[in-house]
Structure 1
């Protein structure tokens, strides 16, 4: 799909009124936010090479010129865009009470920009595309990578502006951070810069792994607590698990199979022995009080990993957030703070 600025404006003028009429009548994804007209955010578009294009699960999107009004719909997509020197005019709120839905590790890249925050404070674990707000902002590029965007949603968004969906090579919410950075770099005309960013973070992982050879081959589980009576085990493709495996740790095959292509799977308290591996990591920074609930579970203190002291509770909200986001901007922060904690935990036995 190829767009010029003039062609996009014409398509927008002709089709958006009908699109929004249909969306208001039948779209369940409206998050209730309202358009604010012209946000204070400005785009600080870095130099790129155009035309630029990228392949994604719903086809190909091409830009003939540098985008000046970029909207990010994925829960963590703003990080990838900011990494290329581009400030979105609108972003999607995930969680965390930070101005402009931008966490501390990305504040320098955001600079003075003040993007509109969609879905602000309304996180339900489900995406919500407010087509009316998006159309009113007149974007010239929409990026929706860390989403579960459907074909129908993509088609609707593409009427508003050229839209980039996630890669077909990975499950929804399971695209590696490298591929996210690479796809964003391609559509922004900065493919070479993408490879530089990826190489830099990969080198940090390699350095951390080399400095901690005891991580290699250790079976581990990244778990979280959401519902009473069970624990949620992150899958092989989930960013939190990928962080660990890139350091040399291993997700046991049976747990990988349990979660499949999803981002994780629940394990009932009656089957908690499935968590009894060489290392158990609890990502609870979003609600540190959960630690008491975990430790009160009936079988918990019987787990060998607990008795050996090889349990790491990630209780700092910022560190847990950096791990959860797992973006090209957040990962260096996660590495800096988590690697020493992992090394200390591995030396506990």
Structure 2
């Protein structure tokens, strides 16, 4: 079957997967042992495992961001929500709370509360998503700093630290959390009517309202899910270093999350979305980072190379870009 005979949906799915494959292949060419995986004490070790493990926070953010973008919104506050959730959990531990359920529950509750504020401002007050979430993006780090009393809070709690450095079934626990989150969200979006409601609100919120879909409630829900995913990512980050750094936790990761969703083929105008391809986008971003490091390129060129590679991937996904290439080939053939 030729490429032009493929459906648009298949074409959108094809390029992110090809992009990831090319990056992984480049890593193999640079470092032949890249795909080698060792098993020590029942745990898997290797560069490929490291890529997935380091991509976990962005992948979690991308899962929530996918649903927000699918409704035509955006959540710029997820990095700050990570800081808040990490600060809340760290504060509970330092405050003497030993119950892991309360520590994790506190972080999750903080994430849902942040998502509720964003969703309420966007859905029920009609504030532009970029403005509504920008408020918490700025204020959120201030809230986290207040919780931490302006300090970097360190702690030792084996059960909580398991979120960041633990292993389950031989895999780092952050990878397991991404898989669990993906499965739950995928079942919720594709095995119930919610996925259609989200796409409907993103495609045309007014029309969705007139056919009986509560577009305000849908927007509130997706921002709460985004906050919940950000909270999990924030607790992973805090557990990984054994502390809460309100200034640096999740810093600029909201941009990587948005980029991962776009690489996955989602439209920023809302409507279509794919949670799986957003995770592929997160893996592409991390794999690209590893590729640059392994290639020995001076650090000052890292961001430029990363931007150029992502532009290429996005162009390959663009139907208009392919139409322009086809016109160029047609014009060249006519001249010859």
Shorter-normalised TM-score: what interval? under 0.3
TM-score by length of 2: 0.24
TM-score by length of 1: 0.24
The structure whose residues are more often strand, as a share, is: 1
Which structure carries more relative contact order (alpha carbon 8 Å, separation 6+)?
2
